A = this chain, B = another copy of it.
């Protein structure tokens, strides 16, 4: 028996780079959080403290800033440039993973007109991209995190099995709320990244809204199926969707009905913890899997 080094990677996490295009008076802005990881032969650093193969994480950070100077473009494009650069920089570096979070900004309206250089943050959601260079192969995941959505009706939950610990009553009408984290894998590396992303996001929202839900699992699958049907470059999509419980509040102790058909407001308690957590994958059965594309990306599959 021997003790050996197993899989490893290292890099610089959370480089907060903001690029401003000032080429016309109507400025535009990209706001990114970039993390790089390198893979390859770094055994000597681990076993002997020999750093001859360790491209510093400081240099990785510098590279992010320097590359931004040429213009940033979409998160996927920026990730592709960086991942290819890192993977090709030294013989012993066989791969690189570049993860990008992108934060949206809207133009502030002044007198109804979008301002040239003043912006407000567009909410808690982030757009994500993960580019993995693995030797000559390159893989692109796109995604989003914390897209918080809610339906006030059009959601049931019935027909489940009952064991000793099951006390939940069935319901024909409940609030359904979740914070969608979705990541999807593309079959190509030269897409109209912004266009496809926008299309997938719209599909996710429209399908969530339009699906009469019998289970959050069903909603998840419907969202994934719609994305694959409408967006051919998407090979696979993975979801993590917490069930953010909104419990109908019992007001009977105060002589108040809290029925769904009464006057006034129907009153719910938005709970924090525990929460349901539904995770699942929807994919095409004729696309070969590319597990390396997902390596290091949070998720259960």
Contact = CB atoms under 8 A, between A and B. Distances in A.
B275 A217 contact: no
Q: How many copies does the complex hold?
A: 4
A117 B54 CA distance: 26
Contacts of A270: 16-18, 31
A208 interface: yes
A250 to B, nearest CB: 9
A228 B282 contact: no
Contact of A51 (B16, B63, B159, B277): B159
A17 B267 contact: yes
Contacts of A273: 13-16, 272
A258 interface: yes
Contacts of A265: 19-21, 30, 68-72
A108 B282 contact: no
Contact of A277 (B27, B35, B66): B35
A11 interface: yes
A219 B278 CA distance: 37
B123 A7 contact: no
Contacts of A166: 55-56, 58-59, 62
B16 A269 contact: yes
A251 B66 CA distance: 6
A121 B236 CA distance: 26
Interface in A23-50: 23, 27, 29-31, 35, 37, 42, 45-50
Interface string A160-203: 11011111100000010000000000000000000000000000
B13 A275 contact: yes
B53 A161 contact: yes
Contacts of A253: 62, 167
Contacts of A160: 51-52, 54-56
B123 A121 contact: yes
A45 B298 CA distance: 24
Contacts of A301: 6-7, 295
B217 A45 contact: yes
Nearest to A297: B300
Contact of A205 (B31, B71, B120, B149): B120
A70, A147, A242: which has the most chain B beta carbons within 10 Å?
A: A70
Contacts of A52: 159-161
B55 A163 contact: yes
Contact of A1 (B153, B213, B284): B284
26 contacts: A3-B224, A5-B281, A7-B281, A8-B217, A10-B278, A16-B270, A16-B274, A19-B266, A19-B267, A21-B265, A22-B260, A31-B270, A47-B221, A51-B157, A51-B160, A57-B274, A57-B277, A58-B167, A60-B165, A62-B167, A110-B206, A115-B210, A119-B150, A120-B147, A123-B123, A279-B296
**Shortest beta-carbon contacts, A-B, top 3:** A49-B214, A123-B123, A6-B281
